[in-house]
Structure 1
Amino acid sequence: MSLPQLLEERECVDRCRCKEHGELVCAALTKRQVLDSDLCGYLHHVCCSCESVKDEMGRTALHVAASCGRMDVVKWLIQMKHANINAKDNESGYTPLHRSIFYGKVNVAVYLIKLGANVTLTDFNGLTSLEHATNDCLESDYAANQGEVYVWGSNTNYTLGPQQARSMPELLDAYHKQYPNLYVQQVCLEKFHCVLVSTDGKVFACGHGQGGRLGLGNEKTIIAPEQVKLSANGHSNPVICKKASIAIDHSVFLTESGHVWTCGLNTHRVLGIQPPPAQVLVPCPLSLMQYPIENVCAARYHTVAWGPKAIYTCGLHGGQLGHDKTVQKYIISPKLVTYLHGLGCTITAVAASNGATAVVTSKGDIYILHEYQCRKIASKRLDITSISIVGGKLNDKIDNSLSTEENHELIVIGLSKVGNLYIWKESDPVFARCIFSINRFLKIRQVTLNLNEILFVTHQGEAFQGILKPRKRKTTENNLHIKKSAFHEFLEKDNCQLLKVSKISRAHRAVSIHSDLKGRNYAVLQASPKASLTRVPDVSQSNMQEDMYMLLQDASEDDQIHDVIFKVSKRFFPAHHYIIAFNSNKLNDLITASEDKIIELSNVNEDIFEQLLLFIYTGTCDLIKIGKCPDKFQLLCKKNKKKEDLQDEEEERLDDLNISAFQYYKNEKSKSKTTSSNNDNRRDPVRLLHEASKRFGIKMLQKILDNMYYDNGFILMKKEKRFCIPLKFDRNQFPKLQDIVLRTKERKEISAHKCILAARLEYFNNLFSSRWNSESLTKEISLPFPHNVLNQLIEFLYTDNLPLLENEDIDHVCNLLILADQLFVLRLKEICECTLSTFITLKNVVQMLSFSSLYNANQLKIYCMEFICANLAAILEVRSLEMVDEDLLRDLTNFYCNYNPIMQQRIITPYSYAPSDEIVSAAGNIHHIVIDDSDCESEIKSTPKPQKKRSRPRKNASLDGNSKKERSISDSVETPNETDVGNENSTKVKTETFVEIESSSKLSNESHSTVVQTRLKAIVFAQSKTDCDNIVTEYTKLPLKPNKVEVSLDDFPELDSHHSYGLYSKSPSTKEKIDIKHKITKLSQKQRKRLSSENSSSVTEPCSPKLSESPKNPWKICTEITNISPVGSPIGPATMDSIITDEKRQKENLVKMRTKLLVHTQVEDKAIEDLYKFYNVDNVFDEIVVINRVQIGLVASPVWVHASKTK
């Protein structure tokens, strides 16, 4: 069956609901090898309602396109076909946003949210799309002690830091910016102040300090958190805080040693200090109690310290302390609660409110210390792990201030091991299980309670707030006495307490949640977003040793970098004064004292001096490496040995002639002792180098060689001792030797040494080398960067490290990375990447991702991508990815699919009944759909089909008989290339293109407004890009050679031309061309006449007649060069057949040009631009690259036919 038969017209209407069409549409979208434009054409061909038709599972085309990541199809369906962006399927209740996140298509999810997809819609499991992203993230230990504090609320008393009132959680910048490496493990929040306990045991407080509740030694109001110093005589310093608890007027701390510290107002004797002071401004330790203390609790009228074996209370004796009722108004010192002591069980949890104290034991019993009683409210609740309490009533007769205190109902909430909540109320004394208003299971990690609501966090890192609903009490008939099992009672909803919950936004990694008593200020402790990241940027090994080695090896007598030459024997060693002076004072003195540039050294072996220079430059040499000694030094030993033997023999012969035999034998014994050591030293290369280092004052080399010796061709070490030699230089030393000045953006000057800059950076090496600068020495260099940034670059070149970079702000480090990228300082770039990775937060990670992609910081880019993938729900919620470039979003999507292993199991394979690639491509050729990426605008162009018997109705494409094709003229706005920006010779050309669109008048108006908006966006984008590209280029350019060679286009052969070697051999040389070109003399009038007459007489061949210029056309098609007759060639008689053939060819070319689609022209223009960028045409000077369209030849003149007006 042929393709036209397979693509025959289907019976379809505008409101088609055919499931067969839905199956075909969804199956086609699972294809992988077809283009998005062809898929859009196929969908348009299959069904008129391709955007709304569903398959058997209720999925639309938008569902499958979002699942497969077909971004262009998604744009076309939403923008042009107006598909329902929030439609749910029948399988799982997923929206397109659900499916895009479920299948890891981050770019599609960002686009859907940008177009208004509802992120609060839930599926059949009660999960939103963002909750799917949270569940799909790699599991991490949210209980790890790396917490960040997020706060929101009214903040009337500055308990949340300096920020204003917030309705959603935001990071407590006042703490985390000041202490970026200190994470928080506990948060305590009250009406007038807030206390934070860090993971290393430090305490920080902020708020109103009246009465000393902050523990800072004063009563001032502190906006930003400040550290509370726990110090006293007899205690370790520093004191590490383990737990903390605060009330409205005082604070309590528990240290690792088991001591309890208190501070604040002592109106109700809550501090436990004897004798009781009125207030304590600095935390004061209490005496150590009999039983060990593991935790503390603080309430307005009392303080609790408890451990596994005992509970101690102190404060106002209003019935909540657990002691017998007496006439005593206060319990000043912590007193043991005897009711709970000796029960044969341990205490597992304690909570305190203003009017009561709750206790949980290991037997599962829950007690309430209230109204001078110890009441048991539940028993055998072995699964309860923590408890929270609020409310209670005190004895108002014991203190007059209690009569004005408002009493609240006593409510107790317990948390079980499996994450269930149980609630007990004084008005309904039943320990009832809590059920939630959302349709999914919540496994709770931590719970807290205030007077208005219940707050809790789940094991998935979510935070909720809930309100208790009145429980319906079950009425049982007297004649029904059916006893139900515990399991049936658990499932009975009448025995449960309904809790209407709402999720707290921007809480995705919550560990614990806290609030003040009235629920006006909140704080949630969230795990660090960097906790699970593994792709942290690292710094490669230092290459400074290699750079200095290459500087020494490349030094020659002809370069402009060296400034001193050492002559040893007959060998010359070019060197650099600053490097020599930095390591050897004695060599520096020799250079300074000498007026000549050449320093001659005697009594030094040239190979030994070479090793000495190598150590000075690199910090190492061959003779301090343990192992076999290099061969040249072994040969040196043999040569020295032969010379020494010959000299000794000659001296002995001369001496023996003048002495007696007795004296001869006596001298031989003494010589054997004295000369043996001297001869060994002369033949030992290690000793020779040691003597040279001692002579020239190189102390570090001398220390190393003291521990080494030479033995039988090997270099050995006396003792196992390693020397760490940091290779770095100090720019501030020897300022008189600074021979280069760097001028910054602010026109400030930085002095430096040319040898260090040339050794460490290729840019300076090329700038200072003789082959680039043969005329004069460069004294000053301009670089368009701030002074502080350039100063740190120079500091890095000297030391190869920047230890204080972490103390700089993020903008400074970014500017330093830009400089490192432009000058190719790779190690500095890696250091900046590592530093910037510590600054990344949820707020700036997207900007940092774009920055890293722009400046080729690949390690930082991968780290940012991993950060986003690990916190995808939080990033999507704040919608910060909407401004990211589409290519970068596509890279992020691919990274996420590889990062999350679960995405490898969620791959949609092509359906078996999907149409073939040929059918989809053929449908795309019939229905040409052009998708404009800038504004998601597309046009549908249908080619006429032969033998069409009937026409089916088409959506937005119905035309009357009188309707005509409308032409719209649009000026194409081109974005300037990066290479064209700043080029003085570049010109901007505005071309006009004609686009034929089949549409009604209404569609034309809409398209006109859309075109205007598109043009405005393009103009703004072009202007912004020009501003970004027009960076001040104040670099000192590399000086060119004085003899600049000018070439023309004729000097370069074309790709299709044949080489004429004879012609090239006769061509003048470059120098001759230059001389001929510049030797232009002014001729007199007589000389010009004589030359013209000579030229006219020398021409014997007839010249070709002047061809008529082809008419210009709006498409600017150039005439074919090959059709022009060469000058001087004879023209034969033109026949009638050739003339007719030429006219036919010209008409065919005109038809081809008119029928050519605008899309194809734009593709060719884009290809030409890409080729210009690929071959770097504007920056290549050794060849000429010209890129043009293939010329089709002469084109017939277009004839415009004016239609006659009919009345």
Structure 2
Amino acid sequence: MADEARSVSIEELPSHLLIEILSSGRLSAVDLACLEQTSRIFWGSNGVFPLKFRSLVDYVAFQQCDSHPIYRHLPSNARKELFERCSCEWKRALLRFLQAVEQASDVVETSAGNMQITTGRYHTLLISDSSVYSCGSNLCGVLGHGPYVKQCVSFSRISFPIASQVIHVSASHNHAAFVMKSGEVFTCGDNSSLCCGHGEVGRTIFRPMLVEALKGFLASSFFSYLLIFSGFIVIFRNVATGLSFTVFLTRQGHVYTCGTNVHGQLGHGDTVDRPTPKIVESLEEAGCVVQVAAGPTFTLAVMTDGTIHSFGSGSNFCLGHGEQHNELQPRAIQSFKRKNIHIVRVSAGDEHVVALDSSGFTYTWGKGYCGALGHGDEIDKTTPTLLSGLRGHLAVQVCARKRKTFVLVDDGSVFGFGWMGFGSLGFSDRGTADKVLKPRILESLRGHRVSQISTGLYHTVVVTNKGFIFGFGTTKELNLAMIH
């Protein structure tokens, strides 16, 4: 009779097998940290990994950092500074910075499922486990529920003409865009400016409609010809919606734009409107784009090498070049390049911009009215300026909108500054006409670990690591304090 299978404890497994298991990618940084606390087997190198690592888990966390898309593109000096900023702990660098930064601008993992929140002017869109929900005013058809719905006082699920999972959503005040797991893009809203990408169809799109021009669309660069030869198609990963224009980013790092182009915000070297998405050719020469952001009339593109290219309206110094000239083509912000600052994320407000670098530092520039830049005054900043009030914190998300800014830090706390209008800055002890000139922590959220934040003109919404949604401020149709 064959011997019965003997159960094996984790302590009996050889170290090289443990490394293989821990490095499989199936365990999150939280899982790794928990394992480290449960067994002494994870301590001591036993000659399997270099002694400079504190534990087996620390070594595995380093390996995951080394393969992470953000860390992989950092120069050696930026890697060193990030490591030191994370108290020389690879688990913190992985979980509380790299993964937090990546998720805060896309879909975030919570204990209640995967979620993403984004706010328009009078409404909110929510991804929850690949489905999309909307609430607020349906002005211009932005909620995607059809022409007969005027408003939704609670989140209602949006129906799509095809069964597909949604992985990214963006909202402006007059239209919305949705990226599917398949890589296809849907849009809805006011298309009078051609911002929805459906050609010369100038009518309002009340339900999400596939952007046919992007379906199987291939870029016109040399790299894309190789994709054609290899049989691949262009797949989109996220979008940014401005005022009457849209920016599409592919997984290969190519950028397409459509809509109004009065200020050159489409980046094609002219001021001609585009009814369907067209590739921004000059960005092809600059390299690979990893994130895009859209202000009302300007666009920002973050590259893998950490530079930011800006184009469109130069008013309020939002382009970061120290002047207010319009830029019809993407132009790199030189102050970051001169100082060897590697930017990983950027957020475009109505009149100012906030950026996050690879060491968790925050920079702001543009119009300083109401303290939106956080420097303790209302002075405009013509070029990016380090936000000294947050030097002691490791920022993981930056979020800007009209005259206000939020910064999410690695412990889940949120700092806000700028205009208190409509209570959307979240400080209950300040009046709606007040200004907060320096970063101040939102005490009302202290008991929660915030994973993502988005702010509109009149309201702000956050998602916590447990999947709770909190809102503050008001719109004309919806009191967001009731969201739960």
Q: TM-score, normalised by structure 1?
A: 0.24
8 Å contact kept, 1:209–1:219? no
Q: CA deviation at 1:146?
A: 4.6
Change (3 A) 1:254 1:192: same
The one-letter amino acid paired with 2:410 is H
Change (3 A) 1:258 1:522: same
8 Å contact kept, 2:397–2:407? yes
Pair 1:359 & 2:301 matched? yes
In the alignment, which of 342, 357, 375 is matched to residue 285 of structure 2?
Answer: 342
The one-letter amino acid paired with 1:294 is R
Corresponding residue number in structure 1 for 2:455: 515
Corresponding residue number in structure 1 for 2:270: 325
Question: C-alpha offsets along residues 20-50 of structure 1, whole Å, 9 cap, x if unaligned?
Answer: xxxxxxxxxxxxxxxxxxxxxxxxxxxxxxx
SS of 1:430's equivalent in the other structure is strand
The one-letter amino acid paired with 1:441 is G
Change (3 A) 1:423 1:260: same
8 Å contact kept, 1:435–1:499? no
- Whole-angstrom distance in 2 between the partners of 1:443 and 1:375: 28
In the alignment, which of 390, 401, 413 is matched to residue 450 of structure 1?
Answer: 401
In the alignment, which of 168, 171, 176 is matched to residue 246 of structure 1?
Answer: 171
Change (3 A) 1:332 1:515: same
The one-letter amino acid paired with 2:348 is I
- What are structure 1's unaligned runs of at least 5 residues? 1-138, 149-181, 233-237, 392-407, 469-497, 531-840, 843-1207
- Whole-angstrom distance in 2 between the partners of 1:446 and 1:499: 19
Q: CA deviation at 1:184?
A: 5.2
Q: CA deviation at 1:430?
A: 2.9
Pair 1:436 & 2:389 matched? yes
- Whole-angstrom distance in 2 between the partners of 1:186 and 1:334: 25
RMSD between aligned residues: 2.8
Corresponding residue number in structure 2 for 1:906: none
Pair 1:284 & 2:209 matched? yes
Percent of residue pairs identical:
24
Change (3 A) 1:389 1:459: same
- What are structure 2's unaligned runs of at least 5 residues? 1-94, 219-233, 313-325, 368-379, 420-435, 471-484
Change (3 A) 1:529 1:342: closer
- Whole-angstrom distance in 1 between the partners of 2:408 and 2:172: 23
The one-letter amino acid paired with 2:353 is V
8 Å contact kept, 1:445–1:511? no
Q: Relative contact order, CA 8 A, sep 6+: which one is greater?
A: 2
Pair 1:315 & 2:259 matched? yes
Q: Which has the larger Rg? A: 1
SS of 2:236's equivalent in the other structure is coil
In the alignment, which of 125, 131, 134 is matched to residue 202 of structure 1?
Answer: 131
Corresponding residue number in structure 1 for 2:20: none
Q: CA deviation at 1:364?
A: 2.6
8 Å contact kept, 1:297–1:352? yes
The one-letter amino acid paired with 2:388 is I
- Whole-angstrom distance in 2 between the partners of 1:268 and 1:350: 20
Corresponding residue number in structure 1 for 2:347: 388
8 Å contact kept, 2:449–2:464? yes
- Whole-angstrom distance in 2 between the partners of 1:449 and 1:456: 9
8 Å contact kept, 1:509–1:526? yes
Change (3 A) 1:282 1:467: closer
- Whole-angstrom distance in 2 between the partners of 1:353 and 1:262: 18
- Whole-angstrom distance in 1 between the partners of 2:261 and 2:357: 32
Change (3 A) 1:375 1:272: same
- Whole-angstrom distance in 2 between the partners of 1:257 and 1:464: 36
- Whole-angstrom distance in 2 between the partners of 1:528 and 1:261: 29
Corresponding residue number in structure 1 for 2:160: 230
SS of 1:276's equivalent in the other structure is coil
Aligned pairs for 1:697-712 within 5 A: none
Corresponding residue number in structure 1 for 2:39: none
Q: CA deviation at 1:323?
A: 1.6
Pair 1:296 & 2:255 matched? no
The one-letter amino acid paired with 1:311 is V
SS of 1:340's equivalent in the other structure is helix
SS of 1:506's equivalent in the other structure is helix
Corresponding residue number in structure 1 for 2:91: none
SS of 2:388's equivalent in the other structure is strand
Question: C-alpha offsets along residues 321-361 of structure 1, whole Å, 9 cap, x if unaligned?
Answer: 112225x4x21000111221233x21122110111001111
Q: CA deviation at 1:382?
A: 5.5
- Whole-angstrom distance in 1 between the partners of 2:404 and 2:183: 34
- Whole-angstrom distance in 2 between the partners of 1:338 and 1:214: 32
Question: C-alpha offsets along residues 944-979 of structure 1, whole Å, 9 cap, x if unaligned?
Answer: xxxxxxxxxxxxxxxxxxxxxxxxxxxxxxxxxxxx
- Whole-angstrom distance in 2 between the partners of 1:146 and 1:368: 30
- Whole-angstrom distance in 1 between the partners of 2:357 and 2:437: 17
Aligned pairs for 1:390-789 within 5 A: 390-391=349-350, 408=351, 411-425=352-366, 427-436=380-389, 441-467=392-418, 500-507=438-445, 508-516=448-456, 518=457, 520-528=458-466
Question: C-alpha offsets along residues 421-475 of structure 1, whole Å, 9 cap, x if unaligned?
Answer: 02233753333211117xx82111111012222101111111110249xxxxxxx
- Whole-angstrom distance in 1 between the partners of 2:353 and 2:134: 29
- Whole-angstrom distance in 2 between the partners of 1:294 and 1:242: 8
8 Å contact kept, 2:173–2:243? yes
- Whole-angstrom distance in 2 between the partners of 1:145 and 1:295: 14
- Whole-angstrom distance in 2 between the partners of 1:145 and 1:502: 24
Question: C-alpha offsets along residues 250-285 of structure 1, whole Å, 9 cap, x if unaligned?
Answer: 110000111110011112111100241401121111
Question: C-alpha offsets along residues 394-437 of structure 1, whole Å, 9 cap, x if unaligned?
Answer: xxxxxxxxxxxxxx4xx322111221102233753333211117
- Whole-angstrom distance in 1 between the partners of 2:126 and 2:413: 21
The one-letter amino acid paired with 1:201 is S
8 Å contact kept, 1:208–1:219? no
- Whole-angstrom distance in 1 between the partners of 2:444 and 2:139: 33
8 Å contact kept, 1:363–1:382? no
Aligned pairs for 1:872-883 within 5 A: none
Aligned pairs for 1:1042-1061 within 5 A: none
Aligned pairs for 1:74-89 within 5 A: none
8 Å contact kept, 2:308–2:343? no
Pair 1:377 & 2:333 matched? yes
Q: TM-score, normalised by structure 2?
A: 0.57
Q: CA deviation at 1:499?
A: 6.4
Change (3 A) 1:499 1:383: farther
8 Å contact kept, 2:305–2:342? no
- Whole-angstrom distance in 2 between the partners of 1:453 and 1:277: 33
Change (3 A) 1:523 1:325: same
- Whole-angstrom distance in 2 between the partners of 1:216 and 1:311: 29
- Whole-angstrom distance in 2 between the partners of 1:421 and 1:414: 6
8 Å contact kept, 2:254–2:284? yes
Q: CA deviation at 1:529?
A: 7.8
The one-letter amino acid paired with 1:305 is F
Q: CA deviation at 1:373?
A: 3.6
More helix by share: 1
SS of 2:140's equivalent in the other structure is helix
- Whole-angstrom distance in 2 between the partners of 1:309 and 1:146: 24
- Whole-angstrom distance in 2 between the partners of 1:195 and 1:432: 32
SS of 1:342's equivalent in the other structure is helix
Across the two proteins, how many residue pairs are aligned to each other? 301
Question: C-alpha offsets along residues 130-178 of structure 1, whole Å, 9 cap, x if unaligned?
Answer: xxxxxxxxx9997694549xxxxxxxxxxxxxxxxxxxxxxxxxxxxxx
In the alignment, which of 259, 272, 279 is matched to residue 184 of structure 2?
Answer: 259
- Whole-angstrom distance in 1 between the partners of 2:383 and 2:467: 41
- Whole-angstrom distance in 1 between the partners of 2:306 and 2:132: 34
8 Å contact kept, 1:243–1:253? yes
